[in-house]
């Protein structure tokens, strides 16, 4: 059926051209901003929801929320407006596909590819969390991957501002049951419970589900209906990925368990803390553990952010029970009262008190009076020494404060407050903004002596390399100069040049001084030197002139060619000699 919006002009500015995707609350179109002549993505709320002030307010809230974020892994919002009954957002258009598309195509990903996708997702969520925002709808459909491998998080439609009542509730209790808002497979337990407080750790939970799904090719909790899935979120732990993909290292099982703990307080504090833990684990994995293909993989995994592999080494269908799950829409789910009561009354393991075994103490033999006195004195001495030792330990030891994502000055201030010494090191990072703390050693929360040094790793931002000046160098020298700064020789084009010696670089593209990512290619234009004079002997005067002019030379004649029928009998300079262009070539005709 024809979409009536296609071909229309929203707000007198945005030309709607093509439908990209449809969700539970809105439809996304590809369009053109006719004022700035750029391609945009237009997110238009479904007409039946546009009349609801709550949903309209959420749309406006999304635009304002993303406008507060400046991060390379977050889809930018350019504009928000309304045209008649169409409420819309104009956003950055990201050519490529979603993580759901990638999983549908490949079944599951290697550990390396999964981490290359998840790390920028956590970096984007971490920036949102540090700005006081919670996404609340993290799922593969909202992770976009460009053709060049850049990962971006989209759709902040359920965003909530921490510390305020801003944002739509994720669960609402009614007299007849309950309403759960979100995508069921990725909901944290507290999003299902009525009136339960939610914070940034719901995004951490969903990120753990993402990692499980990328490693195994399926979701951890499934059921015949959404209520069964919610029940499992409340009452069952997320299983270890290695049960489905045996090559997954135990450390990654632990990361998934950490992120998907049913009790929010048992999870990482936010996405920044989870990202740091993930990067620490990644450094411990061997190449074999990183590149092992999971059983559900139908094709070799792409490697991000360098781009997707161009060759398909293996084509085999995934086992039926491991094929990737279909997409799941964000929805407003009405739960009947009896089912909601069943969900809420079943005891959750992490709420149950740990049973305490009570035993009767053994009966003591009555001791003589003097030994009792000595025993009392000994007990007092032990308590005195123990108390002194405890106090001493409290003074000598401390816990590393949470400084991940903070700048250097803030980290120094927090560590000084704990009486700890800090040593700062800087490394390049594609996912953590420059100046922010990536990790600490010992890790956050670790107990350490205050006299020991805490190594704080700070991001220098993405590594960028200035293109060296290779003009005037030989091709081999230019290639050596590029390799020396971790750049790669690209296309080499040869052209004649009067002023540059043969085999010498005339120019490069990009030009010298431009900044490029590591292992980028640089094209070279190399001189072929002066132009060889073409051979025109035996040609007519007209043919000889055309040939010489095409090579960049001019012509003068010698001899008599009264009737114009003579052929060139000789030339100077001789054919094959190299001369600058525009050189005059003398051609000889016989005396006729």
Hey, where are the domains in the chain?
1-93, 96-306+325-349, 399-459, 464-527, 532-588
CA distances from 407 to 49, 66, 119, 495, 568 (A): 42, 22, 19, 51, 80
Answer whether residue 359 shows pLDDT above 60. Answer: no
pTM for this entry:
0.54
Do 1-93 and 399-459 come out as alike in CATH topology?
no
Cα distance between residue 192 and residue 182, in whole Å: 9
With beta carbons less than 8 A apart as the criterion, state whether 278 and 120 touch: no
Provide, rounded to the nearest whole percent, the portion of the chain with pLDDT above 70: 75
Give per-residue pLDDT as tens, 56-80: 776 676 667 677 777 888 888 888 8
Q: In this structure, what are the phi and psi dihedrals at residue 422, rounded to the nearest 5 degrees?
A: -115, 140
463 has pLDDT over 50: yes
Predicted local distance difference test score (pLDDT) of residue 372: 44
For 12, other C-beta atoms within 10 Å of its C-beta total 9
Neighbouring C-beta atoms of residue 561, cutoff 10 Å: 19
Q: How far, rounded to the nearest angstrom, does the alpha carbon of residue 136 sit from its chain's CA centroid?
A: 18
What is the domain class of 399-459 according to CATH?
alpha beta
575 or 132, greater pLDDT: 575
Q: Per CATH, which fold does 1-93 belong to?
A: Phosphorylase Kinase; domain 1 (3.30.200)
Q: What is the pLDDT of residues 216-235, one digit of tens each?
A: 999 999 888 888 898 899 98
Q: What is the pLDDT of residue 340?
A: 53
Q: Which residue has the higher pLDDT, 577 or 301?
A: 577
Confidence of residue 332 (pLDDT cuts 50, 70, 90): very low
Query: 137 catalytic, yes or no?
Result: yes
Q: Enumerate residues 6+ apart whose C-beta is below 8 A from 401.
A: 414, 415, 417, 418, 444
**C-alpha dist (Å) from residue 518 to 308, 341, 436, 462:** 17, 57, 21, 9
Residue 361: the pLDDT is 34
Lowest mean pLDDT among 11-15, 285-289, 315-319, 379-383: 315-319
pLDDT the model gives residue 319: 37
Angle at 297 between CA 296 and CA 302, to 5 degrees: 150
State the alpha helices, DSSP H only, in 21-170: 47-50, 53-67, 99-106, 111-130
* Residue 240 pLDDT: 94
The distance from CA 476 to its chain's CA centroid, rounded to whole angstroms, is 37
pLDDT of 369 over the 70 cut = no
Position 552 pLDDT exceeds 70? yes
Predicted confidence at residue 482, as pLDDT, reads 93
User: Using one digit for the tens of pLDDT, what is the confidence trace for 131-166?
Assistant: 888 888 899 999 999 877 889 998 775 555 444 433
Q: Which residues contact 559 (CB under 8 A, 6 or more apart)?
A: 566, 569, 588, 589, 590, 591
Is CATH 3.30.10.20 the classification given to domain 464-527? yes
H-state helical runs in 86-188: 99-106, 111-130
- 427: helix, strand or coil: strand
pLDDT band, very low/low/confident/very high, at 171 (cuts 50, 70, 90) = very low
Average pLDDT, the chain: 78
* Cβ–Cβ < 8 Å for 103, 297: no
Burial class (CB in 10 A: 0-12, 13-18, 19+), 547: middle
Report the alpha-carbon angle 344-349-355, nearest 5.
Answer: 125
Mean local confidence (pLDDT), 257-271: 92
pLDDT value of position 238: 94
Q: Which residue did the predictor score with more confidence, 119 or 592?
A: 119
Does CATH number 1.10.10.10 belong to domain 96-306+325-349?
A: no
Q: What is the pLDDT of residue 578?
A: 86
Band (384; pLDDT cuts 50, 70, 90)? very low
Q: According to the model, what pLDDT value does residue 302 have?
A: 62
How large is the average pLDDT for residues 475-493? Answer: 91
Catalytic pick among 116, 137, 270, 414: 137
Residue 265 has pLDDT above 60, yes or no: yes
What is the rounded end-to-end Cα distance, in angstroms, of the chain? 82
What integer pLDDT is reported at residue 312 of this predicted model? 25
* Among candidate residues 106, 109, 110, 107, the one with its CA nearest the CA of residue 288: 110
pLDDT tens for 426-460 read 988 877 888 998 888 887 767 777 778 899 999 98
Helix axis angle, 201-216 to 111-130, nearest 10°: 170
DSSP 3-state of 67: helix
The structural architecture, per CATH, of the domain 532-588 is: 2-Layer Sandwich (3.30)
Contact 437, 412 (CB under 8 A): no
Higher pLDDT, 381 or 301: 301
pLDDT-derived band at 108, boundaries 50, 70, 90: very high
Please give, one letter per residue, the 3-state secondary structure of 549-573: HHCCCEEEEECCCCCCCCCCCEEEC
Whose tokens are 């407006």? That residue is 81
Which residues, listed in sequence order, are joined to residue 456 by a DSSP beta bridge? 424, 440
What was the pLDDT predicted at 481? 94
């Amino acid at each position: 059926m024809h979409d009536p919006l296609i071909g229309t002009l929203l707000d007198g500015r945005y030309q709607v051209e093509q439908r990209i995707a449809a969700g539970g609350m809105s439809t996304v179109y590809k369009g053109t901003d006719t004022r700035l002549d750029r391609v945009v993505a237009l997110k238009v709320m479904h007409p039946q929801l546009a009349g609801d002030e709550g949903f309209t307010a959420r749309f406006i809230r999304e635009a304002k929320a993303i406008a507060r974020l400046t991060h390379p892994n977050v889809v930018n919002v350019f504009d928000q407006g309304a045209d008649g009954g169409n409420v819309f957002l104009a956003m950055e258009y990201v050519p490529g596909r979603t993580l759901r598309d990638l999983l549908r195509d490949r079944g599951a990903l290697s550990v390396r590819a999964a981490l290359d996708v998840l790390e920028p997702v956590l970096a984007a969520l971490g920036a949102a969390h540090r700005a006081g925002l919670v996404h609340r709808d993290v799922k593969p459909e909202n992770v976009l991957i460009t053709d060049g491998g850049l990962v971006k998080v989209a759709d902040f439609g359920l965003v909530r501002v921490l510390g305020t009542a801003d944002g739509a509730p994720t669960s609402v209790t009614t007299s007849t049951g309950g309403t759960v808002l979100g995508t069921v497979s990725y909901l944290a337990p507290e999003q299902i419970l009525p009136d339960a407080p939610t914070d940034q750790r719901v995004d951490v939970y969903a990120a753990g589900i993402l990692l499980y799904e990328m490693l195994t090719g399926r979701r951890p909790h499934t059921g015949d209906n959404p209520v069964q899935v919610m029940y499992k979120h409340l009452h069952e732990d997320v299983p270890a990925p290695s049960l489905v993909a045996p090559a997954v290292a135990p450390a990654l099982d632990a990361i998934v368990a950490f992120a998907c703990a049913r009790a929010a307080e048992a999870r990482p504090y936010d996405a920044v803390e989870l990202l740091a833990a993930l990067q620490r684990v990644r450094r411990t994995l061997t190449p074999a553990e990183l590149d092992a293909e999971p059983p559900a993989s139908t094709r070799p995994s792409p490697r991000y952010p360098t781009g997707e592999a161009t060759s398909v080494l293996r084509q085999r269908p995934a086992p039926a029970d491991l094929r990737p799950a279909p997409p799941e829409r964000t929805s407003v789910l009405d739960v009947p009262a009896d089912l909601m009561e069943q969900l809420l009354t079943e005891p959750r393991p992490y709420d149950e008190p740990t049973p305490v075994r009570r035993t009767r103490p053994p009966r003591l033999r009555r001791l003589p009076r003097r030994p009792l006195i000595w025993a009392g004195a000994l007990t007092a001495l032990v308590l005195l020494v123990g108390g002194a030792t405890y106090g001493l330990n409290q003074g000598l030891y401390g816990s590393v404060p949470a400084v991940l994502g903070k700048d250097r000055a803030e980290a120094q201030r927090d560590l000084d407050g704990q009486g700890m010494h800090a040593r700062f090191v800087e490394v390049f990072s594609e996912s953590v903004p420059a100046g922010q703390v990536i990790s600490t050693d010992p890790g956050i929360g670790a107990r350490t002596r205050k006299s020991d040094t805490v190594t704080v790793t700070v991001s220098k931002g993405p590594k960028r390399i200035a293109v060296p000046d290779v003009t005037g160098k030989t091709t081999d020298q230019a290639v050596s100069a590029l390799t020396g700064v971790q750049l790669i020789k690209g296309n080499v084009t040869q052209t004649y040049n009067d002023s540059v010696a043969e085999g010498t670089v005339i120019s490069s593209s990009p030009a010298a001084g431009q900044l490029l990512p590591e292992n980028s290619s640089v094209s070279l234009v190399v001189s072929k030197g002066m132009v060889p004079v073409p051979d025109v002997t035996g040609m007519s005067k007209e043919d000889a002139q055309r040939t010489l002019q095409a090579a960049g030379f001019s012509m003068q004649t010698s001899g008599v060619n009264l009737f114009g029928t003579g052929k060139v009998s000789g030339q100077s300079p001789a054919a094959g000699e190299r001369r600058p262009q525009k050189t005059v070539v003398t051609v000889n005709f016989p005396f006729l």
